[in-house]
């Protein structure tokens, strides 16, 4: 029985490895979901910015409400958004969630941190050029206020990833990062972290125990169940709290009478 179990585990690990390699090589294409109502460099997939009344934006409001309802007396205030593998929509979700919170939470101070120090995309999606960011805060004497960005959305502040680094996991596990977390918790009401996927690297597992919880983005029709289960195991081993999962790339028909109501 032991040999059979070992063989099954080995086969599962090999399958995960092949899937991750395929995910890295594949270019996933998304349809734009928002109509551009203003002239901005922000990506059209940020529906909460371009189309605040759309059904898609309403889904992000529901996500925000559900997160805060997990504990009404002490809701999660530092939240990691991650995924099992690449290209499942975690960064788009992070940005839309942060904007939804900034728009609708009665002047609460929201900070969105690009903690994906390997393949950062927050600045690209928001159409900004950032010279300083998280890595600069952790590697030199850069001050927090010098790295923060205001992109013209009330109550929302952005901390970009910063310059590329060879040791992202070590930086996120450093004493400087712990001190930075303590500082931003005092300064902001809610903090959203966009982190790398769980399977390929340890970054989300490193930050997870230092925050109030993790939200995992899963792409429908693409992410295999075994991969999701493995991600959850890794988070549990790291003693990170899984707040819930978000299913992306769902396609369904919205009846006209419902759409009119929304």
Q: pLDDT tier at 210 (50, 70, 90 boundaries)?
A: very high
CATH number assigned to the domain covering 2-261: 3.40.50.300
- In this prediction, residues 29-37 reach a mean pLDDT of 45
The mean pLDDT of 231-236, rounded to a whole number, is 95
pLDDT in tens, 140-149: 989 999 999 9
**pTM of the predicted model as reported, rounded to 2 decimal places:** 0.82
More confident residue, 228 or 250: 228
Per residue in 45-90, pLDDT tens? 999 999 999 989 999 999 999 999 999 899 999 999 999 999 899 9
Distance CA 179, CA 156 (A): 22
Q: How far apart are CA 142 and CA 111, in angstroms?
A: 18
Give 107's DSSP letter: S
Give the pLDDT of residue 22.
Answer: 58
The domain locations on the chain are 2-261
pLDDT score recorded for residue 253: 52
The pLDDT assigned to 35 comes to: 47
Query: What is the reported pLDDT for 6?
Result: 59
Angle (CA) 196-216-161 rounded to 5° is: 30
Name 247's bridge partners. 218
Contact (Cβ atoms closer than 8 angstroms) between residue 214 and residue 242: yes
Residue found by looking up tokens 């996120």 in the block: 172
> Can you tell me the distance from the alpha carbon of 51 to that of 38, in angstroms, rounded to the nearest whole number?
10
Residues 180-207 have pLDDT tens digits of 999 999 999 999 999 999 999 999 999 9
């Amino acid at each position: 029985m032991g040999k059979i179990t070992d063989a099954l585990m080995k086969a599962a690990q090999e399958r995960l490895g092949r899937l991750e390699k395929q995910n890295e090589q594949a270019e996933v294409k998304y349809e734009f979901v928002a109509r551009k109502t203003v002239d901005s460099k922000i990506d059209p997939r940020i529906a909460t910015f371009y189309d605040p009344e759309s059904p898609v934006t309403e889904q992000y409001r529901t996500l925000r409400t559900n997160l805060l309802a997990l504990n009404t007396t002490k809701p999660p205030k530092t939240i990691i958004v991650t995924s099992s593998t690449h290209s499942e929509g975690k960064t788009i979700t992070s940005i839309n969630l942060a904007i939804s919170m900034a728009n609708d939470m009665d002047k609460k101070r929201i900070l969105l941190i690009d903690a994906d120090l390997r393949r950062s995309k927050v600045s690209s999606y928001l159409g900004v050029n950032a010279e300083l960011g998280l890595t600069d805060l952790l590697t030199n004497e850069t001050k927090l206020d010098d790295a923060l960005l205001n992109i013209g959305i009330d109550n929302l502040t952005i901390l970009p990833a910063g310059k590329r680094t060879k040791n992202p996991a070590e930086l996120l596990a450093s004493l400087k990062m712990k001190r930075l977390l303590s500082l931003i918790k005092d300064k902001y009401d809610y903090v959203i972290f966009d982190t790398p996927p769980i399977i390929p690297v340890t970054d989300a597992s490193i930050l997870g125990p230092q925050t109030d919880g993790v939200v995992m983005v899963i792409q429908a029709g693409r992410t295999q169940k075994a991969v999701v289960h493995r991600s959850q195991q890794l988070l549990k081993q790291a003693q990170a709290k899984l707040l819930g999962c978000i299913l992306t790339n769902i396609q369904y028909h919205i009846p006209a009478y419902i759409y009119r109501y929304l």
